[in-house]
Amino acid sequence: MSFELSADHEAFRSVVRDFAEKELAPHVAKWDEEHHFPVEVVAAMGELGLFGLIFPEEWGGGGGDFASLCVAIEEIGRIDQSMGITLSAGVGLGANPIFRFGDEDQKATWLPDLVAGRALGAFGLTEPDAGSDAGGTKTRAAAVDDGWILNGSKAFITNSGSSITSVVTVTARDEDGGISAYLVPSGSDGLVVEPAYRKLGWHASDTHGLSLIDCHVPSENRLGAAGSGFRNFLSILDDGRIAISALAIGCARACLDAAVDYAKNRMAFGAPIGRNQGVSFALADLAVSVEAATTLTYKAAWLKDSGRPASQAAAIAKLYSTEAAVTATRIATQVFGGAGFIEESPVARFYRDAKILEIGEGTSEIQRLIIARGLGLPVA
């Protein structure tokens, strides 16, 4: 059994890595410092075909597999986690729900621009009082003659307020108690984009809260069958967990590479600090965790691409990879010592960016709950 990527995958990796090193690396420190969301980079990633990787050619996509998307997210995330999550959310949470659950008219309306990277879509599931308990949504949908009126709030929504955001898919509780999904075009009356969050990390990512105040949604904009929104979105999150795992690999690998390079060149007591077992053993352990995270992530992607059940594998990959990424940033910062605590350090930004990986797309605690249930344990 082998989860080795194909020659085509590795050739694609080289293309994305070259793009990231030339188009992202020279600017990421400034974007981070200024909390700037670079719309022009989204367009460039679109021109490279990154937003269309997993979608059929009929919608302008590349018809590729999920492993290809993971490669792209890993390589973008190795340089900049903010642009990595922009890609991950744009594909997995913006376009994918419409592709999987939309009717032909909805696909024709939204997918061409989303797949091309000319527009971004957002995924409005989380609420101020409904995060891990996503089924506790309080946003309401009241039926009217020509559609629905939505009222409620959404929190921490990626790609929700940029100049190229075209649509937000939101969950809302119907009058019969079921949860449905609705496509809310940007600029709709009653859709209020709150000011951007002041975040610990992901400074160059576009993240806002949303308020829905008597927001009218036309009848043709319900996504999927009535009452299917929550169930459908949970299946979307399975895919998202694999993608976040790839983003975490990019973070961990970047920290490993930077720390190894520093350990080879930083002199102390007349020798490179990498000569000391306290440093070299820590980096050896980090190399093991990066390798393990990579294997778990691409195994989950392989299961998905093979049409096999992947929920358990996605949760395992997400849990391990994201916690490995957080550990990687801590180890790398420790290797850099005082220099790692300075913003100019190549690991400082990753240190701030990594923590959200253990929270978004389901916290580590939720992943453990999913895994425990998969073992057949009678957990709550």
Which residue reads 């701030």 in tokens? Answer: 352
Domains of the chain, by residue range, sit at: 7-120, 122-227, 230-374
- 272 by Cβ neighbours in 10 Å (0-12 / 13-18 / 19+) ranks as middle
Average pLDDT by consecutive 10-residue portion of the chain (380 residues)? 83 98 98 97 98 96 96 98 98 97 97 98 94 91 96 98 97 96 97 97 98 97 95 92 98 98 97 97 98 97 96 98 98 97 95 97 96 93
Q: What pLDDT score does 1 carry?
A: 57
pLDDT of residue 266: 97
pLDDT at 3: 64
How far is it, in rounded angstroms, from Cα 332 to Cα 184?
42
Question: Residue 303 to residues 62, 66, 129, 295, 313: CA-CA distances in angstroms?
Answer: 20, 10, 34, 12, 8
CB 9 within 8 A of CB 68: yes
Distance (Å, rounded) from C-alpha 94 to C-alpha 123? 6
pLDDT of 169 reads 97
Q: Is CATH 1.10.540.10 the right assignment for the domain spanning 7-120? A: yes
Q: For position 130, what pLDDT does the model report?
A: 87
- Identify which of 95, 92, 52, 121 has the alpha carbon closest to the alpha carbon of residue 238: 92
For the question of whether the overall pTM of this predicted structure is more than 0.95, the answer is yes
Which token pair is 314?
């996605």
- CATH architecture under which domain 230-374 falls: Up-down Bundle (1.20)
Which amino acid makes up residue 65?
A: D
CA separation for the pair 294, 24 (Å, rounded): 23
**Active-site residue list:** 361
Half-sphere exposure of residue 132: CA atoms within 13 angstroms, side-chain side: 11
Topology of domain 122-227, CATH: Butyryl-CoA Dehydrogenase, subunit A; domain 2 (2.40.110)
